[in-house]
Amino acid sequence: MTTNIVLAILITSLATFSSRFLGVITAEKIKENSKIFRWFNCLAYSTLAALISRIIIFPSGVLSEVDYLIRFIVIIASVLIFYLTKKNLVYPTIFSAIILALINSYIV
């Protein structure tokens, strides 16, 4: 069992670092204004949006115990904080975790 875990860690590490290495090698040749770069950028943002939507609509684990209304209130408040802090991601992330825990613990 232990050797399987170590082997899985080695294989996934190799896959991760090899793709990053190839990205570093080819990054100099990519123009930021090219169509392919914009396509990959849109693909990355759409994948992220889909994952966040899935977590909000179909949560698993402890988050599934939180009511939908509470989740949407925290999301709306976090988006407002995101724009009020000039698109800083740190503040809404910390705020959302704290407020979700407080609301779920004390109000519900």
Measured between alpha carbons, how far apart are the two ends of the chain, in Å? Answer: 42
| Boundaries of domain holding 50 | 32-58
Q: Are residues 11 and 45 in the same domain?
A: no
Q: Examine the pLDDT at 107 and tell me if it is beyond 80.
A: no
Residue 82 is predicted with a pLDDT of: 92
- Model confidence over 23-47: pLDDT tens digits? 888 877 778 888 888 898 899 889 9
> Tokens for 53?
């939507």
Q: Examine the pLDDT at 100 and tell me if it is beyond 90.
A: no
Structural domains counted in the chain:
3
Question: Which pTM value belongs to this model?
Answer: 0.57
Residue 77 is predicted with a pLDDT of: 93
Q: Examine the pLDDT at 70 and tell me if it is beyond 80.
A: yes
Q: Are residues 26 and 36 in the same domain?
A: no
Q: Are residues 70 and 107 in the same domain?
A: yes
> Tokens for 33?
């204004």
As a whole-number percent, the residues of the chain with pLDDT over 70 amount to 98
Q: Are residues 81 and 97 in the same domain?
A: yes
pLDDT, mean of residues 41-54: 88
**HEC profile of 9-58:** HHHHHHHHHHHHHHHHHHHHHCCCCCHHHHHHHHHHHHHHHHHHHHHHHC
